[in-house]
Structure 1
Amino acid sequence: MNQYQGNGQLSPEEQEQLYKIRHSLAHIMAQAVLELYPEAKIAIGPPIDTGFYYDFDLGVDEEGRPRTFSPEDLEKIEKRMRQIISERHPFIYREVTADEAREIFKDQPYKLELIEGLEKGEVDEYGNEVDEKPVISTYRQDTFEDLCRGPHVEHTGQIPPDAFKLMSVAGAYWRGDENNPMLQRIYGTAWRNKKELNDYLKMMEEARKRDHRKLGRELEIYIFDEEVGPGLPLWLPNGAILIEELEKLAKEVEREAGYQRVRSPHVTKEDLFLRSGHLPYYAESMYPPMELEGVRYYVKPMNCPFHHKIFASRPRSYRELPLRLAEYGTCYRYEKSGELFGLMRVRSMQMNDAHIYCAEEQFEEEFMGVIALYRRYFELFGIDRYVMRLSTHHPRGLGKKYVDNERLWLKTEEMVRSAMRNGNDPFVEVPDEAAFYGPKIDVQIWSAIGREFTLATNQVDFAVPPRFDLKFVNREGQEETPLCIHRAPLSTHERLIGFLIEHYAGNFPVWLAPQQVVVIPITDAHNEYAANLARRLFDGGIRAEADLSSERMNAKIRQAQLMKVPYMLVVGDREVSQETVSLRKRDGSRRNDMPVGEFIALVQEKIATRAGDL
Structure 2
Amino acid sequence: MSEMLKITLPDGSVREVAQGTTPYDIAAAIGPGLAKAAIAARVDGELRDITRPLTGDATLALVTSKDEADALELARHDFAHILAEAVQTLFPGTQITFGPSTDDGFYYDFAPKDRPFTDEDLPAIEAEMRKIIAANKPLRREIWDRDALIARWRAQGENFKAEWAAELPAGDEISVYWSGDDWMDMCRGPHLASTGRLDPQAFKLTRVSGAYWRGDQKNAMLSRVYGTGWLNKKQLDLHLTRLEEAAKRDHRKLGQEMDLFHLQQEAHGSVFWHPKGYMIWRELEAYMRRAIDGAGYKEVKTPQVMDSRQWEQSGHWGKYRENMFVIPDEVPNTEDEGPVISGEADWMALKPMNCPAHVLIFRQGIKSYRDLPLRIYENGCCHRNEPHGALHGLMRVRQFTQDDAHIFCREDQIVDEVRKFCALADRIYQQLGFEGYSIKLALRPEKRFGTEEMWDQAETELRDAVAAAGLATDAYGWEELPGEGAFYAPKLEWHLTDAIGRTWQVGTIQSDRVLPERLDASYVAEDGEKHRPVMLHRAIFGSYERFIGILIEHFAGKLPVWLAPVQAVVATIVSDADDYAHDVTAQLKAAGIRVESDLRNEKINYKVREHSLAKVPHLLVVGKREAEEGTVAIRTLGEERQRFMPLAEAIALLKAEATPPDLRV
Unaligned 5+ runs, structure 1? 1-9, 62-66, 122-133
Alpha-carbon separation, structure 1, partners of 2:152 and 2:435: 50
Provide the secondary structure at the position in 2 that maps to 1:47.
coil
Shift of 1:191: 2.1
Alpha-carbon deviations, 1:5-54, whole Å to 9, x = none? xxxxx984344333322221111112223334455444432323322222
Contact 2:326 2:347 survives alignment (8 Å): no
The question of 1:212 aligning with 2:251 is answered yes
Out of 397, 408, 417, the position equivalent to 1:346 is 397
Letter of the 1:28 counterpart: I
Q: TM-score, normalized by length of structure 2?
A: 0.80
Residue 263 to residue 135, structure 1, CA distance change in 2 (3 Å): farther
Residue 587 to residue 353, structure 1, CA distance change in 2 (3 Å): same
The aligned counterpart of 1:75 is 123
Out of 253, 269, 272, the position equivalent to 2:307 is 269
The aligned counterpart of 2:449 is 403
The aligned counterpart of 2:76 is 22
Single out whichever of 212-221 and 527-536 deviates more from structure 2. 527-536
The aligned counterpart of 1:249 is 287
Structure having greater relative contact order (Cα 8 Å, sep ≥ 6): 1
Alpha-carbon separation, structure 1, partners of 2:173 and 2:457: 34
The aligned counterpart of 1:355 is 406
Unaligned 5+ runs, structure 2? 1-63, 330-342
Alpha-carbon separation, structure 1, partners of 2:140 and 2:130: 19
The question of 1:415 aligning with 2:454 is answered no
Letter of the 1:51 counterpart: G
Residue 264 to residue 58, structure 1, CA distance change in 2 (3 Å): farther
Out of 528, 545, 550, the position equivalent to 2:596 is 545
Residue 363 to residue 298, structure 1, CA distance change in 2 (3 Å): same
Rg (Cα) greater in structure: 2
Out of 436, 442, 450, the position equivalent to 2:487 is 436
Shift of 1:283: 1.5
Alpha-carbon separation, structure 2, partners of 1:525 and 1:57: 68
Give % identity: 41
Contact 2:401 2:543 survives alignment (8 Å): yes
Residue 554 to residue 112, structure 1, CA distance change in 2 (3 Å): same
Letter of the 2:304 counterpart: H
The aligned counterpart of 1:131 is none
Alpha-carbon deviations, 1:432-475, whole Å to 9, x = none? 33222122233333321233333222223222111110001223
Provide the secondary structure at the position in 2 that maps to 1:200.
helix
Contact 2:443 2:482 survives alignment (8 Å): yes
Letter of the 1:195 counterpart: K
Shift of 1:256: 1.6
Out of 588, 607, 611, the position equivalent to 2:658 is 607
Residue 280 to residue 58, structure 1, CA distance change in 2 (3 Å): farther
Provide the secondary structure at the position in 1 that maps to 2:570.
strand
Alpha-carbon separation, structure 2, partners of 1:21 and 1:155: 11
The aligned counterpart of 1:31 is 85
Contact 2:574 2:624 survives alignment (8 Å): no
Out of 639, 646, 652, the position equivalent to 1:595 is 646
The aligned counterpart of 1:534 is 585
Shift of 1:100: 5.3
Out of 560, 564, 578, the position equivalent to 2:629 is 578
Alpha-carbon separation, structure 1, partners of 2:409 and 2:440: 23
Aligned pairs for 1:493-572 within 5 A: 493-572=544-623
Contact 2:296 2:375 survives alignment (8 Å): yes
The question of 1:232 aligning with 2:280 is answered no
Residue 110 to residue 286, structure 1, CA distance change in 2 (3 Å): farther
Contact 1:45 1:53 survives alignment (8 Å): yes
Alpha-carbon deviations, 1:367-406, whole Å to 9, x = none? 23333333223322332443333323343xx3xxx33644
Alpha-carbon separation, structure 2, partners of 1:114 and 1:371: 49
Alpha-carbon separation, structure 2, partners of 1:416 and 1:147: 45
Alpha-carbon separation, structure 1, partners of 2:505 and 2:176: 35
The question of 1:93 aligning with 2:159 is answered no
Contact 1:167 1:189 survives alignment (8 Å): yes
Shift of 1:74: 2.4
Alpha-carbon deviations, 1:257-287, whole Å to 9, x = none? 1111111122222222122221221111112
Letter of the 1:415 counterpart: E
Q: TM-score, normalized by length of structure 1?
A: 0.87
Shift of 1:300: 1.8
Alpha-carbon deviations, 1:150-197, whole Å to 9, x = none? 332221111111111011234455566677666543221122322332
Letter of the 2:262 counterpart: I
Contact 2:105 2:229 survives alignment (8 Å): yes
Residue 421 to residue 290, structure 1, CA distance change in 2 (3 Å): same
Contact 1:457 1:487 survives alignment (8 Å): yes
Letter of the 2:322 counterpart: E
Residue 36 to residue 458, structure 1, CA distance change in 2 (3 Å): farther
Corresponding pairs, count: 580
Alpha-carbon separation, structure 2, partners of 1:117 and 1:487: 44
Shift of 1:610: 2.9
Residue 38 to residue 318, structure 1, CA distance change in 2 (3 Å): farther
Shift of 1:486: 1.5
Single out whichever of 272-281 and 510-519 deviates more from structure 2. 272-281
Alpha-carbon separation, structure 1, partners of 2:527 and 2:320: 38
The aligned counterpart of 1:289 is 327
Alpha-carbon separation, structure 1, partners of 2:386 and 2:516: 27
Shift of 1:414: 3.7
The aligned counterpart of 2:9 is none
Single out whichever of 166-175 and 540-549 deviates more from structure 2. 166-175
Alpha-carbon separation, structure 2, partners of 1:581 and 1:271: 64
The aligned counterpart of 1:365 is 416
Alpha-carbon separation, structure 1, partners of 2:391 and 2:148: 41
Provide the secondary structure at the position in 1 that maps to 2:326.
coil
Out of 82, 97, 104, the position equivalent to 1:50 is 104
Aligned pairs for 1:278-317 within 5 A: 278-290=316-328, 294-317=345-368
Contact 2:263 2:269 survives alignment (8 Å): yes
Letter of the 2:517 counterpart: P
Letter of the 1:50 counterpart: D
Contact 1:267 1:298 survives alignment (8 Å): yes
Letter of the 1:246 counterpart: L
Provide the secondary structure at the position in 1 that maps to 2:278.
helix
Residue 387 to residue 483, structure 1, CA distance change in 2 (3 Å): same
Out of 372, 376, 383, the position equivalent to 2:434 is 383
The question of 1:322 aligning with 2:358 is answered no
Letter of the 1:26 counterpart: A
Alpha-carbon separation, structure 1, partners of 2:98 and 2:483: 22
Contact 2:523 2:531 survives alignment (8 Å): yes
Alpha-carbon separation, structure 2, partners of 1:317 and 1:57: 67
Residue 606 to residue 78, structure 1, CA distance change in 2 (3 Å): same
Alpha-carbon separation, structure 2, partners of 1:330 and 1:598: 42
Shift of 1:206: 1.5
Shift of 1:70: 0.5
Alpha-carbon deviations, 1:465-493, whole Å to 9, x = none? 11110001223322111221212211111
Alpha-carbon deviations, 1:85-123, whole Å to 9, x = none? 1111111124455445545555656556665776499xx
Letter of the 1:252 counterpart: R
Alpha-carbon deviations, 1:286-330, whole Å to 9, x = none? 123138951222222211111111111111112222211111111
Residue 217 to residue 591, structure 1, CA distance change in 2 (3 Å): closer
Contact 2:146 2:170 survives alignment (8 Å): no
The question of 1:490 aligning with 2:536 is answered no
The aligned counterpart of 2:338 is none
Contact 2:471 2:478 survives alignment (8 Å): no
RMSD in angstroms over aligned alpha carbons?
2.9
The aligned counterpart of 2:61 is none
Alpha-carbon separation, structure 1, partners of 2:536 and 2:455: 15
Shift of 1:138: 3.2
Provide the secondary structure at the position in 2 that maps to 1:387.
strand
The aligned counterpart of 1:6 is none
